[in-house]
Every structure is written in C-alpha cells, then in structure tokens.
C-alpha cells in the first residue's frame, strides 16, 4: 500500500494536512509524527512514498532530519517536501542543499500542496522503476560477467585454492607464461621464470630421469598427456610432487608453437601414500610372521598329538589290553555264575575301552597316514563315517600316488577332517564324495555332499557362517599359499575344493 508521512511538532497542523491528503489521496495510508526522532523511525520502518517535513521543531529541526534521511541507504530515495513558515531565500537554499526535493511556504495553498505531492509521487514512482531496472540490469551484467569472465581470471581463482598453476612454453620449452600461483608452490615468481627458464630446467628433479625422459618423448611426439607425476625441487631445494597435464598448440599455419598445461601440487597426497605404503608393508610383514608362527604352531601341535598318541598306544593301551587278558583268564577258573558274569561284563568294558582308545589314537595321529599315504588315510576316515553314521561315501583318486611331504600331508588331512566334521554336524547328507587329483603343480581335493547346503556369498568372511571351521581352514591354506573354493546353494548340497601348491624339489 502507498504511504505518506507528515512530520510537524504542531498537532493542529498535522491534523489539517492529514485531512487534506486523505481527500486528495484516498488510496494512501497516512503516518503522522510530532518529532524529528520519531519521524525518522517511522520513515525507516514504513518507507513512505513521500515525506512532508516541518523545519522549526524542538530537539531536532527539519534540516537535521532531512540530512539524516538523505544519508541513509534505506531512506535516501524518498522525496522530501519542506512545509515551513520560513520564507527567507537562505532557508530555501539550505533546505535544498541538505537534500529536500521541494519547498512550500506556510500558509500554503491546497492546490499547490496537492500538485507538489503528486510531483513527488511521480518522481518516487519513476525513480523506483528506474532503480528496479538498474538492479535487474546489474544482476544481468554480473551474471554475464561471471559467464564471460576471462579464462585466466576464473582459473586463477580456482587454481589458488587448488594449488595448481597454468603455464605456456614455446617450441624450445621456454616459458612464455606462468600463473602467479607457482610462487606458492615452487617459490619462484613469474618474473624469475618467464623468458628465463625452460620447462625441464625449472623443476624436474635431477634424479627423476625416468619421468623426465617420458615427458621429453611425449613432447617430441607432440602428444597430449594427463596426470603424469614427477618429483621436483622447489626454490629452497625441497622435494615437491607435481601432477603435470598439457597439450600442444599450433598457429594459423598449423605450425607447432609450444605446449599449454597445468601443474597440480600433489605432495601431500604422495606423502600420505608413501606413509600408507610403509604402513601396509609393516602390516604385511607382521602378517607373514603371524602365518609363519601359525604354521610352526600347527606343526608343533601335530608333534604333541603324536607324542600323546604314542603314549596312549604304548602305555595306556597296553595296560588296558593286559588287564583284559588277565580278567579273561578268570573265566577259565571254577567260579560262581555271578562272578563269571561280572568278569565277562568287565572284560567287555575293557575291550570297548581298547577300541575307543585306538580310535582316539588314530584321530590324534593316524599311523596309516605316514605308512600308506594321504589317500589311504582319507579312505580310512570315510570308512569310519560309514560304520558310525551310516552315510554312503565315495573316494575318487588318481591311480598314481601324489607325493607330498609329511607336514603337507598332515595339514591337508586335518583340513579334510574338518570339512567332514562340518558335514556331519550341519549338512544332513546321505552321500559324501571326496575327489583327489593333481593339476599342474597344485594338489586339489574336493569334498562334496548332497546335504541341505547354504547361501554362500563370495567374499564373505568365513567366520560369519556361524563357526570357525572354514575360517581355520582358510587360515591354514593362507600359510600354504593355497586357496579354497566354495559352491553351495540351499537344498542343492555343497562342494568345497582345496588347492594347495606342491613343493617340487
């Protein structure tokens, strides 16, 4: 809504002027103030279309009020008309000098007041329209300026933030231009470089001959290049890594004129990469030590198993056997039926203990593995499964035996035994097949079952399958530089193939 502000310390004047304006300008909202300070506050808050201002007021006169309003960015565009009883020419001049747009002497003519206010409103409307157009034009110019700003200026702003500088060299690789950011990166000013240094003499690190030769060959072939990384020296002799990209340019006669390019400071990234490489190197070395330790612990475990098995077989097993023989001799004596029954039952218990101890000895340290080889040991393991669990088994192996050293044989036997135990615990299988073969310099053994299978996601951590059987096998294979391959689906069984390199003498 359009607004008019009247400032006069005389209340009667305010009411009289207000009534006139309401009649002549019915669509305008009137604001009245009896002091300069209050009038200024209203003007800043409401931004009226014109202000009628008295000069003679206490505390702050009209000249000071006008001066304040005309020096304020928000109110300086509002037309101000002085209404004053001061008719001297000096007062009129002073009023116009402080920024007033018109001057009406009291007592005023109503028609003159109406006409003067209309002029002020037209001026305000025209100025607002012009100012709006200028603002839109300024916005458009700024946009166009941003769109058509020179490539150099825009790139310089970006390059300063990104720590990269642009360059241009002639046919002899001497600099004809380099952006000022180079000083932040290499310490050289543009004046120290342009016309005085060549591309290679400036910053290619003298020991970095391979990268230098590569760039020289590219330039000789007039090829584009992107992201070549070179080690350089700055002005202080410190090493700086730069990523260099560029392309050849030609004159109107298609004659080679030189190269244009950009260099980006990648020192921080390379330092971080080198630190990361060193960290990974230490981790890999630590992992190798852990794998070696794991292998040594596994072999040590097998040696302890063998000692325990030998003790059980030669010591504990022999003692039970002798006890069973002596107990059986009682049955040939004349004893009561009750005693004879007790003897028979005790002898049977001892025979069961002998069988169980033999099975335990074979599990701890299967002598058949060392006497007849891995295939025979696995065949014996499958026979035990058939007898104890009633599951059908098939062993497929090549006729010619595959020679393996003792440590490798026991490790493979343990892994196969772990896979068989997993089948017995989880698969609910009715058939187990083991295939053993040689493929080039690798030993392959596949354990297959027709059980319920499981959802296998390639790359998933083996410990996430609910146990540590597969995880343990994977770790053992890692020590042997072998691999494990799993093929399984729900209701379709599982096939797990272990591949172990054969060490050839």
138 plus 192 within the same structural domain: no
What is the pLDDT, as a whole number, of residue 392?
95
Q: How many CB atoms lie within 10 A of CB 165?
A: 25
161 plus 228 within the same structural domain: yes
pLDDT tens digits, 362-378 = 777 777 887 888 899 89
51 plus 66 within the same structural domain: yes
Indicate the residue among 265, 289, 324 that finishes a domain.
Answer: 265
* Spatial contact of 55 and 126, defined as CB atoms under 8 Å apart: no
How far apart CA 371 and CA 503 sit, in angstroms, is 21
Q: Which residues contact 316 (CB under 8 A, 6 or more apart)?
A: 357
For the ranges 2-11, 138-147, 314-323, the maximum mean pLDDT occurs at 2-11
Residues belonging to the chain: 505
Q: What is the pTM of this model?
A: 0.42
* Spatial contact of 123 and 101, defined as CB atoms under 8 Å apart: yes
Q: Which residues contact 360 (CB under 8 A, 6 or more apart)?
A: 312
Q: Is 262 helix (H, G, I), strand (E, B) or coil?
A: strand
CATH number, domain containing residue 485: 3.30.565.10
CATH number, domain containing residue 173: 3.30.450.20
Between the CA atoms of 260, 265, 271 and 272, what dihedral angle is there, to the nearest 10 degrees? -100
138 plus 223 within the same structural domain: no
89 plus 133 within the same structural domain: yes
Mean of all residue pLDDT scores within the chain: 82
30 plus 87 within the same structural domain: yes
| Helices 469-479, 267-311: inter-axial angle, 10-degree rounding | 110
436 plus 472 within the same structural domain: yes
pLDDT tens digits, 64-108 = 999 999 999 889 889 999 888 777 777 888 888 888 888 888 887
138 plus 159 within the same structural domain: no
480 plus 405 within the same structural domain: yes
CATH number, domain containing residue 84: 3.40.50.2300
Burial class (CB in 10 A: 0-12, 13-18, 19+), 434: buried
Among 62-76, 201-215, 247-261, 377-391, the minimum mean pLDDT is found in 201-215
The count of domains in the chain is 4
86 plus 173 within the same structural domain: no
Q: Which residues contact 457 (CB under 8 A, 6 or more apart)?
A: none
Mean of pLDDT values over 135-148? 49
113 plus 187 within the same structural domain: no
Indicate the residue among 333, 365, 397 that finishes a domain.
Answer: 365
- For residue 341, is pLDDT > 70? yes
Q: Which residues contact 465 (CB under 8 A, 6 or more apart)?
A: 454
What is the pLDDT, as a whole number, of residue 149?
45
* Spatial contact of 50 and 4, defined as CB atoms under 8 Å apart: yes
Domain of 416, in residue numbers: 373-501
Indicate the residue among 365, 381, 409 that finishes a domain.
Answer: 365
Q: Position of tokens 């065949």?
A: 379
What is the pLDDT, as a whole number, of residue 140?
52
Element (DSSP H or E) covering residue 88:
none
214 plus 288 within the same structural domain: no
């Amino acid at each position: 809504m359009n607004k008019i502000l009247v400032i006069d310390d005389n209340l009667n004047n305010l009411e009289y002027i207000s009534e006139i304006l309401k009649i002549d300008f019915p669509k305008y909202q009137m604001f009245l103030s009896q002091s300069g300070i209050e009038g200024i506050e209203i003007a800043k808050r409401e931004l009226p279309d014109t202000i009628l201002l008295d000069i003679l007021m206490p505390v702050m006169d009209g000249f000071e009020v006008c001066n304040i309003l005309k020096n304020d960015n928000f109110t300086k565009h509002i037309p101000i008309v002085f209404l004053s009883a001061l008719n001297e020419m000096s007062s009129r001049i002073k009023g116009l000098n402080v920024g007033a747009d018109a001057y009406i002497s009291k007592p005023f003519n109503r028609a003159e007041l109406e006409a003067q206010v209309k002029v002020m409103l037209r001026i305000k409307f025209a100025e607002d329209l012009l100012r709006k157009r200028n603002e839109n034009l300024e916005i458009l110019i700024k946009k166009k300026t941003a769109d058509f700003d020179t490539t150099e200026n825009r790139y310089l702003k970006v390059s300063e933030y990104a720590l990269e500088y642009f360059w241009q060299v002639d046919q002899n690789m001497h600099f004809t231009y380099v952006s000022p950011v180079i000083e932040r990166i290499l310490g050289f000013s543009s004046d120290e470089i342009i016309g005085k240094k060549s591309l290679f003499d400036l910053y290619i690190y003298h020991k970095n001959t391979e990268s230098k030769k590569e760039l020289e060959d590219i330039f000789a072939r007039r090829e584009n290049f992107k992201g070549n990384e070179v080690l350089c020296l700055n002005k202080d002799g410190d090493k700086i890594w730069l990523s260099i990209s560029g392309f050849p340019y030609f004159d109107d006669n298609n004659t080679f004129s030189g190269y244009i390019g950009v260099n980006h400071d990648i020192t921080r990234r390379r330092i971080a990469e080198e630190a990361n490489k060193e960290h990974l190197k230490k981790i890999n070395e630590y992992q190798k030590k852990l794998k070696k330790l794991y292998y040594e612990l596994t072999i040590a475990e097998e040696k302890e198993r063998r000692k325990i098995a030998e003790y059980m077989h030669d010591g504990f097993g022999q003692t039970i056997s002798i006890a069973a023989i002596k107990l059986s001799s009682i049955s040939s004596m004349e004893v009561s039926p009750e005693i004879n029954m007790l003897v028979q039952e005790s002898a049977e218990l001892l025979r069961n203990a002998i069988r169980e101890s033999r099975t335990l000895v074979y599990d701890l340290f299967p002598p058949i593995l060392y006497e007849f080889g891995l295939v025979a040991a696995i065949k014996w393991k499958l026979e035990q499964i058939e007898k104890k669990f009633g599951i059908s088994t098939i062993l497929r192996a090549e006729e010619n035996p595959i020679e393996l050293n003792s440590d490798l044989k026991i490790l493979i036997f343990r892994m196969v035994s772990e896979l068989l135990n997993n089948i017995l615990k989880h698969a609910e299988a009715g058939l187990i097949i083991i295939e053993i073969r040689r493929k080039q310099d690798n030993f392959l053994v596949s354990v297959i079952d027709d059980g319920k299978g499981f959802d296998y996601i390639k790359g998933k951590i083996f410990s996430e399958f609910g146990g540590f059987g597969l995880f343990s096998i994977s770790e053992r294979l890692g020590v042997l530089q072998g691999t494990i391959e799993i093929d399984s689906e729900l209701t379709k069984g599982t096939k797990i193939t272990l591949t172990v390199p054969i060490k050839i003498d």
